[in-house]
Chains A and B, each alone.
Chain A
Amino acid sequence: SYVLTQPPSVSVAPGQTATITCGGNNIGIRSVHWYQQRPGQAPALVVYDDSDRPSGIPERVSGSNSGNTATLTISRVEAGDEADYYCQVWDSSSENWVFGGGTQLTVL
């Protein structure tokens, strides 16, 4: 089955840029979605189809996808961005939705 690999943790100072990667075999040909999960809360969509943002998500949150890596970038990081972030794709060969293992973003 298809595997998505994320770094367990990323740390960044306020005002800096956080980069969270999601690795997968030829992931660039797939549509990647990203979810934010704050402590004690349900997940929430922050980026869909590689780089589109749902309404209400600020422009400083962006996504890209090419080759074997999809990337979620959060610019001008704020304390409120501290959360776990998960990437997701649909794997048609197994007919399964697949999530990455998640990345804990810590704002120093």
Chain B
Amino acid sequence: EVQLVESGGGLVQPGGSLRLSCDASGFTFNRFWMNWVRQAPGKGLEWVASINQDGGENYYVDSVKGRFTISRDNAKKSLYLQMNSLRAEDTAVYYCAREFVDTSVITYFDSWGQGTLVTVSS
């Protein structure tokens, strides 16, 4: 059974930093792209970042470029999101999601963790 378990959320002051982790089990972690998706309180889903299988390729939504860094440790089967210069608008539940490759051009998020809450407030 595929399992994704996020951790590392909490309360942080504006301008502060936080590192989220997502521990994976039940599948061959190093074969999949992985993603972070966030959801502000009462709002919709927003994709944050993606990383390829070996960590050499990544993408970010514009609003976090230069502040957030996605990374992974395949030996530990873990995904990370280093968040710096946090702002109030970064307050959200952060989900990690596995990206399944159906064909070379069709991929989608087939498994999600339960999320970890990040609150940016003074």
Contact = CB atoms under 8 A, between A and B. Distances in A.
Interface stretch (A9-17, A71-79, A92-100): A92-100
A96 B115 contact: no
The secondary structure that dominates the B interface is strand
Interface string A68-108: 00000000000000001010101000011111111000000
Contacts, number: 57
B27 interface: no
A5 to B, nearest CB: 12
Contact of B108 (A49, A95, A98): A49
B44 A99 contact: yes
A42 B115 contact: yes
A42 B97 CA distance: 10
Contacts of A98: 47
Interface of B: 35, 37, 44-47, 50, 59, 61-62, 95, 97, 102, 105-110, 112-115
Interface string A34-67: 0101000111110011000010000000000000
B51 to A, nearest CB: 13
A31 interface: yes
Given A86-B45, A90-B107, 8 more contacts: A42-B113, A43-B37, A48-B102, A49-B106, A88-B109, A95-B59, A97-B47, A99-B47
B47 A44 contact: no
Closest 7 CB pairs of A and B: A97-B47, A102-B44, A42-B112, A33-B108, A48-B108, A99-B45, A95-B59
